[in-house]
Amino acid sequence: MKKLYGITVAMVTPMDKNEKPDLAAVADLTDKLIGRGVNCLYPCGTTGEMLKLTLAERKAVAETVIRTAAGRVNVFIHVGAANAAETLELALHAREAGADGVGIVTPQFFGCNPRELTNYYDEIADGLPEDFPIYLYGIPQCAANDISPEVAKDLYERHPNIVGIKYSFLDMDRTAAYLAVAPEFSVLHGCDRLMTSMLILGCDGTVSGVSGVVPEPFVKAYNAYMAGDLATAQVWQKAGYEICTILKHGSNMGYFKSGLEWRGVAGGHMRRPQLDLTEAENTALFSQLEAYFAKYQLERKL
């Protein structure tokens, strides 16, 4: 089964002035990211403002990315929702639309004990074909629920379609515990600013929101690492850390969208209650980006 690996981009969802998904911009961004050498695409997740989109909008974005990618890279759609029924609906749609797999965040806001969490993933995994890949997705700082290594191991051993986990909390011990679930259990980390450290630990790659704006340093670091050129990987990893800092590590997607606009791509607007950056914030951001791109001799246009 296909898996996520390398530079997997957590894509933003460009919005028009009426705060509706701009599907033409989604398609254009998909093309440009593939052109920059990323390995996989992961739309409709945290970076994509998932919980602010309707089910119909999430389906439309998923279809657009899948159709535009046209098999050039692996596309896994994030389908986690507020309840199991909607999650399964989105997962089935992703499969029918031609996705290579799905990612499923834990239930949000309401606490789940291990039995409830296991039952949730059982229901989704049982509702999908055994050969359709599923990634668990843990981001406890946002979702209020965590996936223990024991729960991950139990799910992996009982469901052939559960192939790995995307983990987005900076806990190296927990990351190592996920890697110990099984030799073939795929682990990708959301901490792109420490990507090469995660690769050395054994992760298959990073799921990176910052790479949706400036993929170049991460692609260069990953390719150098895979070629055994650790000195070059280190140089570009440091560059990756710098751009993560400039773009606020994904804490405000407005920086991602403004960054895309600076690069000549329609990043669009935020959907309320989150707001676009102020003029002063944009001025400061654009100045930092200009200095960064000059320092690393990167082409401004994405």
Radius of gyration (Cα) for the chain, nearest Å? 18
Residue 248 designated active-site = no
Q: Is the peptide bond before 217 cis (omega within 30 degrees of 0)?
A: no
**Known catalytic membership, residue 153:** no
**Residue 118 CB neighbours (<10 A):** 18
| CB 121 within 8 Å of CB 89 | no
CA-closest candidate to residue 43, choices 56, 26, 18, 31: 26
d(CA 137, CA 221): 24
List 137, 167, 178, 225, catalytic entry: 137
Sequence-distant (≥ 6) Cβ neighbours of residue 260 within 8 angstroms: 12, 14, 29, 212, 213, 266, 267, 302
Q: Which of 3, 32, 166, 220 is catalytic?
A: 166
Which residues are catalytically annotated?
Answer: 137, 166
